[in-house]
Amino acid sequence: MSGRLRNSYLDLLRVIGTIAVVVGHLSDSNVPRALIYSWHVPIFFVLSGYLAARRSVRDEVARRLSSLARPYVAWVLLIYLAYVAVSVMARGGLSWVQAIDPWIGGRWASAPFSAIWFVSALFVATVATRLIDSTGWGWPGRFGLGLALCVGLAVGPHQLSRLPLAVGQGLACVVFVQAGALASEYLTPLSIGTRALLSSAAVAGAAVLFATKAAVPLDLKSLDFGTPVLSAAAATALCVGLVIMPLRITGGVGRMISALAQTSLAVIFLHSLVLWSWPGVSPPWRLLALALIAPWVVGFVLSATPLAATFGCATRPRPRARPARA
């Protein structure tokens, strides 16, 4: 957490975002898209920028290799073994395309690898943000470059969304990481009352834009940024507003939320395997419960083993308050 005590409210945003990702993959209807696609993926990019605003390029690369790249390889390999076994034994085998696409990643990876693009895109976005920061330009120049990447990739050739490992998506999402970093530097130091006012205004304004369909939801996996400029701006305002909200959750509830957040990578990777393996489960809420509970149980089990860090499920206890001196 970049030297900060864990804020369980921010962890709650990660948990809610994780649940929203699963909901988005469970249904193809327009209702989930309208309710969650405007924020459920951008919130992770904004949070990453907010919590790592002052990291160097070297520190960012080292941290992301440990927290994203290593778990990415471990989970994809594990899921791939299950994918091949089930496909060969119960689904008539695999074509060469089906066998290779999961390793290309990005948009090429379909179920049960539907969400892996997000992890590699987050790696690209966070590292690219630090590289841009290292130019020494002022915030207008750095943010302008991030915005140019976003616009250029959003309106560019369709093939850009099919770059391996979601490189295109990651570069397009640099602007969300930068927004989080800007919020950390300039909005967090404000008074609680000012932050509450700004947060409420940003969330309410963005909600109105999406509710009235003035801004349509984004689909970052497809590099679909919805209504030009307006959808990305509304999504940024909504996520920044949520992140800067001056709330804290403490006690046992806070510890449980943080534990869920720290094992949520298991859900990001495994839920698509659950949905792919048991497509006929009904009613849908049962499949949703299975796709959430089973991966989170796996995450908690892994967190108690030597493999916890390898799979990105290492839980870190809160620092204890030092006793007052006599």
> Does some domain include residue 312?
no
> Does some domain include residue 321?
no
Give yes or no for residue 31 having a pLDDT over 80: no
- Percent over 70 (pLDDT), the chain: 94
> Does some domain include residue 43?
yes
- Condensed to tens digits (0 to 9), the pLDDT of residues 264-277 reads 999 999 999 999 99
Sign, CA dihedral 88-91-92-95, equals: negative
pLDDT grade, residue 53 (50/70/90)?
low
The pTM assigned to this predicted structure is 0.92
- Condensed to tens digits (0 to 9), the pLDDT of residues 210-249 reads 999 999 999 999 999 999 999 999 999 999 999 999 998 9
> Does some domain include residue 308?
no
Given its phi and psi angles, is residue 291 left (phi above 0), alpha (psi -120 to 50 degrees) or beta? alpha
C-alpha 229/C-alpha 220 separation (Å) is: 14
Contact (CB, 8 A) for 234 and 217 = no
The total domain count for the chain is: 1
Closest CA to 113 of 162, 86, 71, 77: 77
pLDDT grade, residue 323 (50/70/90)?
very low
- Burial of 37 per CB tally in 10 Å (0-12, 13-18, 19+): buried
> Does some domain include residue 311?
no
Residue 187: CB atoms within 10 Å: 18
The boundaries of the domain holding residue 41 are 8-303
Closest CA to 111 of 9, 13, 24, 225: 24
If you compute the radius of gyration of the chain from its CA atoms, what whole number of angstroms results? 20
C-alpha 222/C-alpha 11 separation (Å) is: 27
Q: Which two tokens stand for residue 318?
A: 């809160």
C-alpha 176/C-alpha 146 separation (Å) is: 9
Classify 224 as helix, strand or coil.
strand
- Percent over 90 (pLDDT), the chain: 77
C-alpha 180/C-alpha 118 separation (Å) is: 17
